[in-house]
Structure 1
Amino acid sequence: MPEPIRKNIRDINPFADGGKLPEKEIKSSTLPREANHPQFFLSNPDWMRGARVRGGMTTYLKDAEQYAEKIAFIMMTLLPKLMKDWKSLYPNPNARQFPHCHVLNGNALKRAKDIINEIYPDADYSSEYLRNIWQFGFSKGIRLVCGVNDNDEIYPFFVDYHHLLNPDKNYNQQDFASFRYCPKVLADVSDEAFENVRNASILYLSQEKASDLLDEVCVTCKDIVYEMYVELI
């Protein structure tokens, strides 16, 4: 699993060594990180990926409509509240005020690790993020499962859309095992299918047809294309 990378100040500001500043100052449209707010790594491309493991734990959704509803809630309600109330809920949240924000342990931690292993097969549990796994949630049964380090940096692992880490009769009435929707997985399957079709098209070309196509390739590229074709067949 890739660790979040912190850029060197010289990568961010090319004038950090005292070089001449541009004549016209360019103002950033983003605010610097505030002292009482955490840093949330949206750079992880798989934290909203669908996954399913034994025991009924799943992060797949019913359909595109449900996906849109859940993602809108996460981005417009859950994450802003997490940032705003961070110092009140981490590392010692008020259990009455934030009952759904806490470190994971017991069966809930086991279920979380099962999903993490499914999404990230190369998960390294010596990572500071995987040694401190939390869930954050406020309403609607949605729980964000993340690793947190000593610098208040939050690395999202997955979303427990259906409140399955800690099963509850108020949330667990649907047949979640039948859910199959995840845009990320669908995109991966489509890419794989396209690649298979592309390769199959090459494999089933007759040698005569392949030779005709090869004649249309420029001299510079002909040897390269021929080697690729031979390798495939």
Structure 2
Amino acid sequence: MANNKVKKIPKPTYIPKKRGVKTSQPVKLPFIFKTEYSWLKTYKGNDFTNYHKDADDYAKNVTNLVHNFIPAVYRYGEDLFKGRKGTIFDRHSKLMPEDKMRMVEDIVREVDGINLEDDVLDSSSIWYLAVPQGIRVVGYYQTSINTFFPLFVDWHHLIFPNQNYNQADYQKFSYNADVSSKNW
């Protein structure tokens, strides 16, 4: 037969004293990379495309994004957004300059369905995050919650093109991962 005795839990002999919380210091929010929009969606228009050559090219780039770029944003993002130097993002990352905003607004409208002019997003907080020889992500940094929201990826570095580094045939790329993934 089962033992039906209920065991009593003894009271602790040591109860730590509660310490008051200092409210004079602001609470430091952790940095967050929040994927809330359709930021990996492909788009082709005017002088921009983020289509890929083929499925292997797409897989390679997304793997690099997940395994290298996003961890680097977590590691250095807070320093970057606070203007501190000494990160891998220093050389190429920047607040989006005004002369590029029309292009960015058009892409964001198509990719994410957001109108930057009318939406809550403040265009003065649109960032171009870039690592040397790597991925470029355009996104919105919201200071009040220490969060970066990616809006789209500039796989071919076309927001700030450079004839020495851009592939000449990027406009021929036709692999659209959005169409390929609709069966899911």
Query: Is residue 84 of structure 1 aligned with residue 75 of structure 2?
Result: yes
Letter of the 1:152 partner, please give it: N
Which consecutive residues of structure 1, in runs of 5 or more, have no partner in the other structure?
1-33, 192-233
In 1, Cα distance between equivalents of 2:170 and 2:35: 26
Q: Which consecutive aligned stretches of 4+ in structure 1 deviate over 6 angstroms post-superposition?
A: none
Letter of the 2:69 partner, please give it: L
Q: CA deviation at 1:65?
A: 1.0
- CA deviations on 1:148-207 (whole Å, 9 max, x unpaired) are 11221111110000110000123213311111112223344x69xxxxxxxxxxxxxxxx
Query: Is residue 153 of structure 1 aligned with residue 147 of structure 2?
Result: yes
Considering fraction of residues, name the structure with more helix: 1
In 1, Cα distance between equivalents of 2:142 and 2:87: 24
Considering fraction of residues, name the structure with more strand: 2
Query: Is residue 163 of structure 1 aligned with residue 153 of structure 2?
Result: no
> How many residues of Structure 1 are paired with residues of Structure 2 in the alignment?
155
RMSD of aligned Cα (Å): 2.5
Q: CA deviation at 1:124?
A: 4.7
Query: Is residue 186 of structure 1 aligned with residue 184 of structure 2?
Result: no
TM normalised by structure 1 equals: 0.59
2:94 equivalent among 102, 107, 113 = 102
Mapping 1:1-233, distance limit 5 Å: 35=28, 37-44=30-37, 46-54=38-46, 56-94=47-85, 98-131=90-123, 132-150=125-143, 151-188=145-182
| Aligned residues with identical type, % of pairs | 24
Q: Which has the higher contact order (CA 8 A, sep 6+)?
A: 2
Q: CA deviation at 1:111?
A: 2.1
Which consecutive residues of structure 2, in runs of 5 or more, have no partner in the other structure?
1-26
- CA deviations on 1:102-160 (whole Å, 9 max, x unpaired) are 11013333322221122234525344434221011112242111011122111111000
Letter of the 1:65 partner, please give it: D
In 2, Cα distance between equivalents of 1:94 and 1:110: 28
